[in-house]
Structure formats: C-alpha cells, structure tokens
Amino acid sequence: MRHVRGPLCTIDVGERTAETETIDDVLESSLGGRALGTRLAHDRIPFDADPLGPENRLYFATGPLQHSTMSFTGRMSATGVSPLTDGLLSSNAGGFLSRNFTGTGYSAVEITGESDDLVIVHVTDSGVEFEAVPALAEATVPETCEYIADEHGLESEHTVVVGPAGENQVRFASMMTSEERAFGRGGLGAVLGSKNVKAITFDGDSAREVEIPPLQMEIHGEAAQAEHPMKESGTTSVTEYANMVEALPSYYFSELSFEGVDGISGDRVAEKKYKKGTCSACAFACKLPTRDEETGLETEGPEYETVMAFGSNSGVDDIVDVMKSNKLCDELGLDTISAGDVVAAYLASEDEFGNVELIHETVEKIAHREGIGDTLAEGIDRIHDDLGVENWSVKGMEFAAHDGRTLNGQGLAFATSNRGADHMYAEFYPYEYPLVDADDAFDKEGLDGKPPKLVELENLNVIKDSAVLCKFSRDFVTEERIETLLGADYEQLLELGGEIVSLERHFNNQRGFDRSDDDLPYEIPDFERGLSEYYDERGWNDDGTVPEGRLEDDSGVPADD
C-alpha cells in the first residue's frame, strides 16, 4: 500500500518547542491524511480533552497522492476534537497548500499546548520558528495573508489562517488557506484560535519520494478534456434540480423548496464567474471566482451548500447577496454552512427572512461575539431553546443541504456520520437524486438495501480523505483505478476505511456518544431498523458503541510497497 512518508513534527506552542519522531509503523497502515490524523489523535489526545483546552491537538496531514501531478489531488486533511460536536472530527481543504506542506518533508504536523501570545508558527524543512504577532489580533484572513506575504515572501497558498471568528472561539470557525479555501466544518478554526495561533505557514523543498503509477497522467488528461456542468457552475449546478425534487431546505428547514430559486441557481452563479479557478495540479477547474460588475464585489463561490444556507434557508433570492455572505465568512473565518444555518435560525426567531442587511450585520457580530452574535456563536444545538426554534443539527453540527426528508438514505447518513450532519461524510445523495447510472441508483424513499451501501460509502470516503483525493473524482477514479493508484486491493482499502470509522466512533464513545446521538429532527420510514442494520454491518453494538476488542481485531491494510 502506498502511503505518505516522513516523520511526525510535534509543535508545542506553549513551550515553544518542536520535536520530530519516526512513525513508520503508523504510516504503513494509514495511507495518510484522515486515517493518519485519526490514528494519531485516538492515541494521543486524552478522551476527556476540552476541545478548546491546551490538551486538544490538531493534526495536519497529506497523503501519497499529493506526491503526484494528478488532477483531484490539491487537498489536505486536518483532525482534532471539535468544539462544535465535542467529538473527533476531520476536515479537509482544497487550494494549493498540500504541495507546500509536502515540501516540509513531514508526514504530519501536530499542534498542541496554548501560547501566551498571539503567534504565527513557521514550519519549514529546516525547522520551526515562532513569531509573536500581537498587532494581528482580530485581523481578517486577507489582512493576515497580506502581512505574511509582505514580511516573509510567502503567498496565501503557504498558509493556514484563522480570522476573528477563530480567535474568538466561535464554535464553527474555519481555518482558511489560499484565503478562500476552508477547513470548514466542525470548528477547527476555534481550536487553533484557542491555542492563540493566528496562522501556520508551510514551506520547503524536501518532499519525500512516493512513486505514483503512470495512470495519474491518464486521469489528469481525462479531467482536462471532460465536459462537465461543474466546470461552469461548480456544485451549484444541482440547485434547481434539488429544488424540483424537494430536497432544498428553505426558510430554516420549514420548507423543502424555494420559490426564488432562479435568483440563486447555478445559472446565476455561472453568469458571475469571470475566470477559471482550480486547486493545485488539477485540470478539472471546478472552482468559482465570481464578480458582480455593478458593485465590484469579488469572491470565490458560492458553492451549493452556501447557496442553501445563506440563500433559500435564509429567504434570500439574489445571488449577489449570497456572494456577499460568502465573502464575509471567508474574510472572518467562518464555516458558511453552519454560519448560514445559525443566521437562518435567528431570522426565523425574529420573523426576518430575507433581511439581507440584518444577515450581514449578524455574520459580523458572530465572528466578533458581539451582542446576539455571542449567543449565535455557540451553534444551533446549544442555543435553539433561547431562540425558540427547532434544533436542526446532528451531534451539534448544523445541516448541509440534500434534505433527508426527501432523500432518506442521505437522512440516515446524516444520523450515522461521526462528524454530524455533514453531506460529505458518506455522500449518499448522488445515489438518490440520482446523479449516478440508473443501475447504481436507489429509490429516494425508505431505507431498503441502503445500510450496506452507506457503510461502503463511508469507508470509501475515508480512503479518499486519506489518499488525499477530491470527492469530485468519482467519475474518473474507479475501483480498479484506486487500487492501482494506492497499490492495494479495493476490499482491503474498504477494511482500512471501516477501521478508521470505528476508531472515530470509539473515541466518541469514550466521550459519551451512543445510539441516542445518531438521531434526526424528523422521521423517515424504518429509521430505527435501518440504524440497527447499519450497526450490524459495522459489527458494532446495537447501542451505537464499538465492542470491546473490536479495534484490536481490525488488522488494517499491510504495506506492500
């Protein structure tokens, strides 16, 4: 099995120390990325760690495919205990950071402790340096990136930055890279902020050698030549279709379609796109640099989930208003999905759907924890009673789109996800719209036959998040191709994926998670039966816990390269 190479670099920001250690035994059974971060976190973070305390740790890791020149590989992973869900969580971001990270020569970087001063941590192949930056307190992401470029000659693709939201420990604060790409879900930006770290930079020329098969160039060529709607309007290409089948949450989840969808559709986004956008080494170029000529507003996006959260779910039918919300979140360092849903909850409580001025004002207040923003910064799960609205979250995480009340398999996927109500943990929704071949599709209603497929998809996404491989590669990287790229049998890879899902679940079990947390704020047919079938497929107890000895029985995938 091909895997990322290099030592672990442990950085204690409180003690101002950096140490390296060999972790070959972990690497050989982990690929890299999410699998590597999860193994390290499970073994090194105390089960009772405060997510915002010095004992929590953040892991950054790439995978073997970041040593290729193949499309769909411009991503990397981050792992830690989430202040939003209180469980172990991995998030990944696109952009151009991953190649600069591999240049340091490390397989993973671990951040622990808590600094007395606001600092930037500079990680290179020749060592680690700490820079006190008190003047950057409350600086936006672009302001921080500008400082780093001016003072150190490093452009934004070398950086991981938190905005005011991370510093103020907003529970859904993101970590930003390349200014507009986010480690978005779960609040890992608040974890970095709690350690008083404003930014981390990665630079070097010491990437470890990982031989990737020539197949990489075939895939790269196909990505460049393919005609695909995502090349024009990104993930927003699904907006009108989701609305048509009643899977587009609207007005704080009170409706399943939106009468103003034309104003926030993929066509409206495509009209605002003014150039191509991509991630490192990727010829698919599905990103969305957008500009409104009338106002001069420029941003990247919004993607479909942002269109849902700040558009239909907030009662907004003008794409320029959604673009403004997207830009604010990127500058302030906020997950657009959670931020938009939280704002929608506030609008529902105030009967102010569609009030764009209030929306943008509230986003600013959340990031700075000012006034009502201090309450909203805690997330829907913690404050829904205060607002007098329903609790639209799973495990504390606000819902993504692709509504499970219509797409029942996606509903079950929201419930079982160790990460909470996130659509990318399993990605069941393409099989129910469907966006796949008819032979692979499922009926939207009910859960018949879906739990085994859900387990497969969760396991496969571990492999993609560990390789690290973009989820939008699914039309190009088949089972056979992923075997060739990673040098392992597909079933063996799925076994590794299942082991990592069980490690995440076991960690969360130690923090009190069980079946009661795999729940939804709505009913779907045969939910309890489907949940039990899912547990049975995983070999877990029917109470949603991992049996004693189950992890020891998982051998993972042996190295063969």
List the Cα angle 296/300/305 in 5-degree steps.
Answer: 120
Whether 550 has a pLDDT exceeding 80, the answer reads no
Is residue 394 within 8 A of residue 421, CB to CB? The reply is yes
Whether 558 has a pLDDT exceeding 90, the answer reads no
- Which CATH code fits 226-398? 1.10.569.10
Class of domain 413-553: mainly alpha
Tokens 């969760």 belong to 458
Residue type, 387: L
Letter string b/e over residues 319-352, b meaning 16 or more CB atoms within 10 A of that residue's CB: bbbbbbbbbbbbbbbbbbbbbbbbbbbbbbbeeb
**Cα distance between residue 322 and residue 224, in whole Å:** 29
Under the banding of pLDDT at 50, 70 and 90, the label for residue 552 is low
Select the CATH number that applies to the domain covering 8-203 from these four: 3.40.50.300, 1.10.10.10, 3.10.20.30, 3.60.9.10. Answer: 3.60.9.10
Kindly list the domain boundaries of the chain, sorted by start residue.
Answer: 8-203, 226-398, 413-553
Name the percent of the chain lying above pLDDT 70. Answer: 98
Name the percent of the chain lying above pLDDT 90. Answer: 97
- Per-residue pLDDT tens for 256-273? 999 999 999 999 999 999
**Cα distance between residue 386 and residue 238, in whole Å:** 34
Please provide the distance, in angstroms rounded to a whole number, between the alpha carbons at the two ends of the chain.
6
Average pLDDT over residues 144-154: 98
Whether 553 has a pLDDT exceeding 60, the answer reads no
Whether 153 has a pLDDT exceeding 90, the answer reads yes
Residue type, 303: E
Is residue 221 within 8 A of residue 205, CB to CB? The reply is no
List the Cα angle 241/242/245 in 5-degree steps.
Answer: 85
**Cα distance between residue 81 and residue 42, in whole Å:** 10
Average pLDDT over residues 88-114: 98
Which pair of structure tokens corresponds to residue 227? 């005609």
- Per-residue pLDDT tens for 46-93? 999 999 999 999 999 999 999 999 999 999 999 999 999 999 999 999
Whether 559 has a pLDDT exceeding 90, the answer reads no
- Per-residue pLDDT tens for 387-441? 999 999 999 999 999 999 999 999 999 999 999 999 999 999 999 999 999 999 9
- Per-residue pLDDT tens for 324-343? 999 999 999 999 999 999 99
Among candidate residues 460, 407, 452, the one with its CA nearest the CA of residue 434: 407
Q: What is the pTM of this model?
A: 0.96
Runs of H (alpha helix) within 71-181:
97-102, 141-152, 164-167
Average pLDDT over residues 368-380: 98
HSE, CB side, 13 Å, CA atoms: give it for residue 297.
18
Whether 104 has a pLDDT exceeding 50, the answer reads yes
